[in-house]
Amino acid sequence: MNLSPSLRRLLALCRKESYQIVRDPSSILVAFILPVVFLFVMGYAINLDADHVRIGVLREDAGPAAVRFEQVLSASKAFEVHSGPSREALVKQMARGNLRGVVVIPNDFSIRMAQGQGKASLQVLADGSEPNTAAFVGNYVQGAWESWQQSLARDQGRTQPPGLEVRTRSWFNPSAISRNFLVPGSISVVMTIIGALLTSLVVAREWERGTMEALLATPVTRTELLVSKIIPYYGLGMIAMVICMLVAVFVMGMPFRGSLFVLFGVSTLFLGSTLGLGLFLSTVMRSQFNAALAALTAGFLPALMLSGFVFEISSMPMPIRVITRFISARYLSSSLQTLFQVGNLGSVQGYASIWLIALTVFWIGLTALKTRRTLD
Amino acid sequence: MNIPPSTGAALEVRGLVKTFAPGLPPALDHLTTSFHAGTITGLVGPDGAGKTTLLRTLAGLLQPTEGSVRVLDMDPFTQGDFLRDQVGYMPQKFGLYEDLSVLENLVLYADLRNVTGEDRERSFKQMLAFTDLARFTDRLAGKLSGGMKQKLGLACTLLGSPRVLLLDEPGVGVDPISRRELWRMVRGLASEGLTILWSTAYLDEAELCDDVRLMNKGNIIASGTPKELMDQMRGRCLHVANLKAQRREVLRKALHDPEVVDGVIQGANVRVVIREVGRFPDLAAMEAGPDAVLVEVDPRLEDAFISRLGGVHGGDSALAAVTKPVELPASIDPEAVIEARGLTKRFGEFTATDHVSFKVSKGEIFGLLGPNGAGKSTTFKMKCGLLKPTEGQALVMGLDLKFSPSEARQRLGYMAQKFSLYLGLTVEQNLVFFSGIYGLDGQQQKEKIHELVEAFGLRPFLQTKTVDLALGFKQRLALACAVMHEPQILFLDEPTSGVDPVTRREFWTHINGLAQKGVTIMVTTHFMDEAEYCDRIALIYRGKRIAMGTPDDLKGMVVTPDCSNPTMEDAFIELVLRADREREAKVSQ
Amino acid sequence: MLKRLFRLIVKELQVTAGDKKARLMLLVPVLLQIVIFPWAATLEVKNSTIAVYNQDGGPASIEILQRLTHTPAFERIIAVHSDGALQDSIDSQQALLALRLPADLSRNLQAGRPATVQILIDGRHSNSGQIASGYVSQILQATRSEHGVRPTSIVNIRNLFNQNLNFKWHIVPSLVAIITTIGCLTVTALSVAREREEGTFDQLLVSPLTPGYIMAGKAIPGVLVALGQAGLIVLAAIFGYGLPFTGSILTLLMAIIFYGLALAGIGLFISSISANQQQAFLGVFSFMAPAVLLSGFVSPIENMPTVFQWIAWMNPLSYFIPLAKGLFLKGFGFADAWPFLWPMLVIATCTLSISLSLFRRHIA
């Protein structure tokens, strides 16, 4: 082999890094097993579309209308209805988290129903400590009530009041399955883990074990040192990406409407910026313990909370929206969501790419600045 | 490759100052010296003298605060890129990649140093032969013994035919056999025109160098060839022979003699260095016995070193002074305070320790010696309860560590090979912690800490983070922590590895003092002069006990017409080689 | 022996908070998370953009637009003038929602004829899209009743414990759990690995301390770190975010201790199966990430498939998060807390005894 010395050194360092990756069961765990576990949890366990919500129904009225309405609620797929002896008992059950809401059908319900429209009233108590579920309970009871009213009116042959029909269509994701946007989002979290978490440890480890001093005394240059940390973990990240895509498309049946080329490009840029972040933390901290905590704080948690895949970025206050701009996962997440459900879209992936390039330059540049060839 | 003419300085340092933090004394203080091509220069000096800082500066890893550094006529800091091919630097703690095999580590460094093709084949063969690692090329570096790691680290540094070699204590933790080979190899390199700087705590190693620089407090206080330095000591080195009294007691008293600047135990004799030629110490005051005589012996470099640094004064251990004499319960056999009965440890197919038995009696210093990877550490670990034997028994004061570990452990003190106190804690916090987990508290704890702080001179450092202590003080602190609870048994695993001779003297003064108080001591070491302090030695090789006896017994075993007065090192090497021959003879039968 | 244990604990705390960097790493992330996450973690929809294609231009459509401008959900309304532009606004993520008001809307409403309005949601954000379309529906229904149609019924909705469905009230108590999880697990799992790497572990093993004590000496500092961090967040919750604290402080203390013990058991388990700090850290992570997701923090446990529900019931977070909320918002006393406390105690007992036995075997 006739290689230039620089290339030979780079290859040697990359090979060394790869051996270390392959021989450490924990990096295999994180790169190959954790992504699959994470995707399954995100794809199947996390379901923002609430259904089978447990509610309690207190029917104080024995009249036919009250019984019928209770049946309507029971028949709904959205609810799992439990009846209770008293309001206090049901509220207590709700406080303990066994019920998410309580519907009270008052004792004059049937009488008032018979009197006509707008007379009868229902009371819904929801557990506000789970705001999302509480809102869901309120809206669904309201919805169930209204459609029941309308069907009653139809059955009784009364003229229906002129309706304003709202036709809602969910674009790209017709049945509005939350998995379809959670899975791309969680891929970006997984990729952050590999990019930032694994690499945050590697430079610190070299300092701790004294291998850095020995390396610095060889002809290795700063660039070779940096690049040799990036390439193997980039490879590992790409493998994980492929695994994630295979699981998402073939196991979970997600659509994929974009091009592989764009996917490749965006993932590359994303890995560039997160690897940069991880290396930066590792270089600055020089201790595995601290680097690990820092990577968790600056990598994983923001990817989960601030990347916009669970919590809408536009709903956040201004200063936090500014912070999200520096979270690489945000761009991968939106790019992937679009790639899966829409396709290639310059305005989304192009925009993301520009930011990712900027972040890559920022983090790797900062790492290069902080990487010294001396022990001072 | 162009080899520069062997005259002229290859390394040159002028007015070099290196300060790490404002307020701290400089690590290097206006140092001016030069080193010549084709020579091996020994860099010796107490801890904190600035040896490592000098080497790191020469390697371009530290920027000088002031002054100039020239390596092969270049500035290592600014022109490092041109120099790194030419300079091989082996740090004190050479970081091998523990999850890479021996061969993979070699290949990595060969690639980094651009050693390819036939060159590579040849150097690998040479390195593997020299390190005796050819059998282990596929073993992960993390699974090698400490000495083997050191050898592999050196091999990685030697790759790529550098013109300058900077070696920072390459011999630490390496057994005498390997050190001899290491030396032979470096000597060969020097004759090819390399400039070699060898920092060491082993003065016998420095004796072999062409040139020696003695450093202290960031500057050079003496330089010259070993012979020049040793000749200055001629007539001042004496053996006190034909002792009747206990040699430790004689040494203690000898060190009180105002004419004596240094003293050690050597076999059955006590070796002293006197202040001036012709002014002999008082044998009567030493109570050495009626037959005791003074015999002049050849000086060693260590004598020059110690006397340059002001000598050692007083043979009393402040630690022993505050230690109560050990009283063993009547039920315990004073002949077998520590006992190994057919101790065996197997790791899979590999037998690390193979039916080793011995008994150590009360107040005895028992040495465990052996080449790297011979099973010495495994035996030692079983003795102090860190490993469970596969077979046999490890008894401490008649208690089996397997069954009553907690009770047995309360009676033993342990000092690890690698400094292992909490580096992030202050000196005081470490003392409080270690006394606390051995059950000391309240007034008793305070008093004990006070005593030890005074005995070891740790008072000024109480609030210092342990990580910032000089090695010598770390060593003192480690010993202090190991003896806080007044153990009846002390386990010392290479306790003075990398420590300078002055600190080592002080350390052995304490150990001798403790032994005199009846503390039973088991120690492993690679320093042959330390082996001389032991009452008895067991030599372990390939898991088996190949010899046991007093240092003089062992030396006696290897007396031949050619070698009538073997040193401890000769004995060690010969006994190991003899075991090899016997094994081969058995195999061939 | 208790005094020795005390020394172990003091040592651990000194090591953990010994140097400035380490102290910062225990504190700064906690502060950052308290300051940032409650504002970020909201499922409410605010400041989003809606695209409107108004083909009508009549009084009803003008009123709808006016109402839309007044809801905090929509910060910007983009007027588009073709179906293509409407779709485009969604595709390019300019708008979360697109609304088409047909040309005959005002006419139909006035004439009492049924009318149809179309809403498009960006399916990539179907959750917030649905929430936002809920707001729009309310506006549309309100407009309809303005235009002469009486409401058909009255449904009184009251949200107990958190009347205004303030998301911060939901997030902050959950953060108590999530943040302490990180602190406690890293302290227990990584510190053992670090002692192994530094050789100090041998020093402990040759001392008379039994494995049980050595373990307790790691577990208790972990619990103390959890208490410290949790205390910080509870204070921030009450004084910074104005959350009510309606439950019993003593029960909260007990809850954190039980939870801390459960975590310490897991941390020690991880440390006893990992060879170095890297493995310990990745082990911590491999436990923590799924544990947070399967705790009911993001979506209710009863919505999960059965297998995941089983896992969730073995997860100490599944008990601690609702308990923290109960203590803050629902006035939990000891009796209310007990159903959450005992499972944590059971988990703690299991994990601690498993790791003790592993510990013992490891030492041998």
| SS3 track for A9-78 | HHHHHHHHHHHHHHHCHHHHHHHHHHHHHHHHHHHHHCCCCCCCEEEEEEECCCCHHHHHHHHHHHHCCC
Q: What whole-number distance in Å separates Cα of residue C192 and Cα of residue A189?
A: 28
C269-283 confidence digits (pLDDT tens): 998 888 888 889 888
| pLDDT at position C270 | 92
Where in chain B are the domains? 9-229, 233-315, 331-411+490-589, 420-486
Lowest-pLDDT choice from A307-311, B234-238, C211-215, C334-338: A307-311
Facing A127 at nearest CB: one of C44, C131, C161? C161
| pLDDT at position B1 | 38
The answer to whether A312 contacts C128, with C-beta atoms less than 8 Å apart, is: yes
Please indicate, yes or no, if residue A170 is contained in any of the structural domains.
Answer: no
The answer to whether C136 contacts A323, with C-beta atoms less than 8 Å apart, is: no
Facing A375 at nearest CB: one of B56, B94, B99? B56
Q: How many angstroms away from the CA of C182 is the closest CA of chain B?
A: 22
Q: Which residues of B touch C19 (CB under 8 A)?
A: 424, 465
Residues C137 and C195 in one domain: no
Q: Which amino acid, residue A309? A: F
| pLDDT at position B178 | 81
Residues A105 and A248 in one domain: no
Q: How many angstroms away from the CA of B388 is the closest CA of chain C?
A: 6
Residues C226 and C343 in one domain: yes
Residues C185 and C302 in one domain: yes
Q: Which residue of A has its CA nearest to C279?
A: A26
> Hey, is the C-beta of C48 within 8 angstroms of any chain A C-beta?
yes
Give all chains having 3 or more CB-to-CB distances under 8 Å with chain A.
B, C
Lowest-pLDDT choice from A133-137, A174-178, C256-260: A174-178
Chain A residues with at least one Cβ partner in B under 8 Å: 1, 5, 8-9, 11-13, 15-16, 19-20, 23-24, 206, 209-221, 373-376
Residues A183 and A70 in one domain: no
The answer to whether A214 contacts B85, with C-beta atoms less than 8 Å apart, is: no
Q: What whole-number distance in Å separates Cα of residue A119 and Cα of residue B165?
A: 98
The answer to whether C289 contacts A34, with C-beta atoms less than 8 Å apart, is: yes
- How many residues appear in chain B? 589
Residues of C numbered 205-234 whose beta carbons fall under 8 angstroms of chain B's beta carbons: which are they? 205-210
User: Which of B150, B265, B156 shows the shortest CA–CA distance to B498?
Assistant: B150
B368: pLDDT strictly greater than 90: yes
Residues A40 and A66 in one domain: no
Q: Which residue of B has its CA nearest to A11?
A: B111
Specify the number of domains making up chain A.
2
Please indicate, yes or no, if residue A165 is contained in any of the structural domains.
Answer: no
Q: Which residue of B has its CA nearest to A12?
A: B108
B389: pLDDT strictly greater than 60: yes
Please indicate, yes or no, if residue C232 is contained in any of the structural domains.
Answer: yes
Please indicate, yes or no, if residue C159 is contained in any of the structural domains.
Answer: no
C224: pLDDT strictly greater than 50: yes
Give all chains having 3 or more CB-to-CB distances under 8 Å with chain B.
A, C
By the 8 A CB rule, do A189 and A183 touch?
no
> Which residue, among B404, B437, B522, would best test binding to C if mutated, counting the most C CBs under 10 Å from its CB?
B437
Facing A38 at nearest CB: one of C32, C274, C289? C289
3-state secondary structure B87-109: EEEECCCCCCCCCCEHHHHHHHH
CATH tag for B331-411+490-589 (out of 3.30.1330.30, 3.30.70.1350, 3.40.50.300, 3.40.50.170): 3.40.50.300
Number of C-beta neighbours around residue A229 at 10 A: 24
| pLDDT at position B3 | 42
Please indicate, yes or no, if residue A259 is contained in any of the structural domains.
Answer: yes
SS3 call for B160: coil
Lookup result for tokens 């609030």 = B463
Residues C90 and C10 in one domain: no
**pLDDT band at C28; cut points 50, 70, 90:** confident
Instruction: Tell me the mean pLDDT in the region A278-288.
Output: 87
> C157: which strand partners?
A124
C250: pLDDT strictly greater than 90: yes
User: Which of A248, A266, A217, A258 shows the shortest CA–CA distance to A373?
Assistant: A217
Q: Which residue of C has its CA nearest to A340?
A: C124
Q: Which residue of B has its CA nearest to C201?
A: B420
3-state secondary structure B505-526: HHHHHHHHHHHHCCCEEEEECC
Facing B93 at nearest CB: one of A16, A210, A373? A210
Q: Which domain holds residue C316?
A: 2-41+165-363
> B68: which strand partners?
B14
> Hey, is the C-beta of C123 within 8 angstroms of any chain A C-beta?
yes
Residues C78 and C201 in one domain: no
Residues A295 and A199 in one domain: yes
The answer to whether C289 contacts A193, with C-beta atoms less than 8 Å apart, is: yes
Please indicate, yes or no, if residue C153 is contained in any of the structural domains.
Answer: no
Token couple for C323: 């308990």
Residues A180 and A313 in one domain: yes
Residues A140 and A280 in one domain: no
The answer to whether C209 contacts B414, with C-beta atoms less than 8 Å apart, is: no
| pLDDT at position B481 | 92
Specify the number of domains making up chain C.
2
Residues A21 and A113 in one domain: no
User: Which of B367, B347, B379 shows the shortest CA–CA distance to B535?
Assistant: B367
Facing B384 at nearest CB: one of C3, C206, C209? C206
Facing C199 at nearest CB: one of B385, B405, B420? B420
Please indicate, yes or no, if residue C200 is contained in any of the structural domains.
Answer: yes
| pLDDT at position B4 | 43
> Hey, is the C-beta of A210 within 8 angstroms of any chain C C-beta?
no
Helix axes C277-293, C316-329, angle to 10 degrees: 60
Helix axes C211-235, C2-16, angle to 10 degrees: 50
> Hey, is the C-beta of C305 within 8 angstroms of any chain A C-beta?
yes
B12-67 confidence digits (pLDDT tens): 999 999 998 887 788 899 999 999 888 899 999 887 788 999 999 999 888 899 99
The answer to whether B59 contacts A217, with C-beta atoms less than 8 Å apart, is: yes
Q: What is the dihedral of CA B105, B110, B112, B114, to 10 degrees?
A: -170
Please indicate, yes or no, if residue A167 is contained in any of the structural domains.
Answer: no
User: Which of B262, B172, B267, B227 shows the shortest CA–CA distance to B499?
Assistant: B172
Q: How many angstroms away from the CA of C132 is the closest CA of chain A?
A: 11
Token couple for A208: 């701790």
The answer to whether B409 contacts C206, with C-beta atoms less than 8 Å apart, is: yes
Q: Which domain holds residue A97?
A: 53-155
| pLDDT at position A165 | 66
Residues A73 and A40 in one domain: no
Class of the CATH-defined domain B9-229:
alpha beta
| pLDDT at position B5 | 43
| pLDDT at position B362 | 92
Q: How many angstroms away from the CA of A214 is the closest CA of chain C?
A: 19
The answer to whether A176 contacts C21, with C-beta atoms less than 8 Å apart, is: no
| pLDDT at position C145 | 65
Q: Which residues of C touch A158 (CB under 8 A)?
A: none
Residues A28 and A90 in one domain: no
Residues A151 and A30 in one domain: no
Q: Which residue of B has its CA nearest to C214?
A: B437
Residues A188 and A283 in one domain: yes
Lookup result for tokens 């449904």 = C155
Please indicate, yes or no, if residue A166 is contained in any of the structural domains.
Answer: no
C323-340 confidence digits (pLDDT tens): 999 999 888 889 889 999
> Hey, is the C-beta of A93 within 8 angstroms of any chain C C-beta?
no
Instruction: Tell me the mean pLDDT in the region A350-354.
Output: 89
Q: What is the CATH number of the domain that holds A150?
A: 3.40.1710.10
Give the neighbor-by-neighbor strand order of the sheet with B399-400: B350-360, B338-347, B391-396, B399-400
Q: Which residue of A has its CA nearest to C118?
A: A167
Domains B9-229 and B331-411+490-589 share a fold: yes
The answer to whether C11 contacts B438, with C-beta atoms less than 8 Å apart, is: no
> Which residue, among B101, B112, B159, would best test binding to A if mutated, counting the most A CBs under 10 Å from its CB?
B112
| pLDDT at position B480 | 92
Q: Which contacts of B26-30 are long-range, i.e. CB under 8 A and separated by 24 or more positions? A: B26/B65, B26/B218, B27/B53, B27/B218, B28/B53, B28/B54, B28/B57, B28/B64, B28/B218, B28/B219, B29/B217, B29/B218, B29/B219, B30/B66, B30/B67, B30/B219
Token couple for C193: 């690995």
The answer to whether A214 contacts B60, with C-beta atoms less than 8 Å apart, is: no
The secondary structure element, H or E, covering residue B229 is helix B226-231
Please indicate, yes or no, if residue C226 is contained in any of the structural domains.
Answer: yes
CB-side exposure of C12: number of CA atoms within 13 Å?
30
* Start-end of H helices in C47-125: 59-70, 83-91, 105-110
For residues B489-522, b (16+ Cβ closer than 10 Å) or e, as one string? bbbbbbbbbbbbbbbbbbbbbbbbbbbbbbbbbb
| pLDDT at position A170 | 66
Q: Which residues of A touch B112 (CB under 8 A)?
A: 9, 12-13, 215, 218-220
The answer to whether B114 contacts A9, with C-beta atoms less than 8 Å apart, is: yes
> Which residue, among B97, B105, B118, would best test binding to A if mutated, counting the most A CBs under 10 Å from its CB?
B97
Residues of A numbered 46-75 whose beta carbons fall under 8 angstroms of chain C's beta carbons: which are they? 46-54
- Report DSSP state, residue C245: -
Q: Which residues of A touch B62 (CB under 8 A)?
A: 374-376
Number of C-beta neighbours around residue C249 at 10 A: 10
CB-side exposure of A11: number of CA atoms within 13 Å?
12
By the 8 A CB rule, do B427 and C14 touch?
no
**pLDDT band at A164; cut points 50, 70, 90:** low
Q: Which amino acid, residue A222? A: R
Q: What is the CATH number of the domain that holds C126?
A: 3.40.1710.10
B7: pLDDT strictly greater than 50: no
Residues of A numbered 172-201 whose beta carbons fall under 8 angstroms of chain C's beta carbons: which are they? 172-174, 176-178, 180-181, 184, 189, 193, 197-198, 201
The answer to whether A146 contacts C152, with C-beta atoms less than 8 Å apart, is: yes
The secondary structure element, H or E, covering residue B587 is helix B568-588
Residues near B208 by beta carbon (within 8 Å), at least 6 away in sequence:
B40, B42, B183, B187, B226
The answer to whether C29 contacts A296, with C-beta atoms less than 8 Å apart, is: yes
B411-420 confidence digits (pLDDT tens): 889 998 777 8
Q: What whole-number distance in Å separates Cα of residue B103 and Cα of residue B105?
A: 5
Residues near B338 by beta carbon (within 8 Å), at least 6 away in sequence:
B359, B360, B366, B383, B395, B396, B397, B489, B520, B522
Residues A112 and A42 in one domain: no
> Hey, is the C-beta of A138 within 8 angstroms of any chain C C-beta?
yes
B427-449 confidence digits (pLDDT tens): 999 999 999 999 888 899 999 99
Residues C58 and C97 in one domain: yes
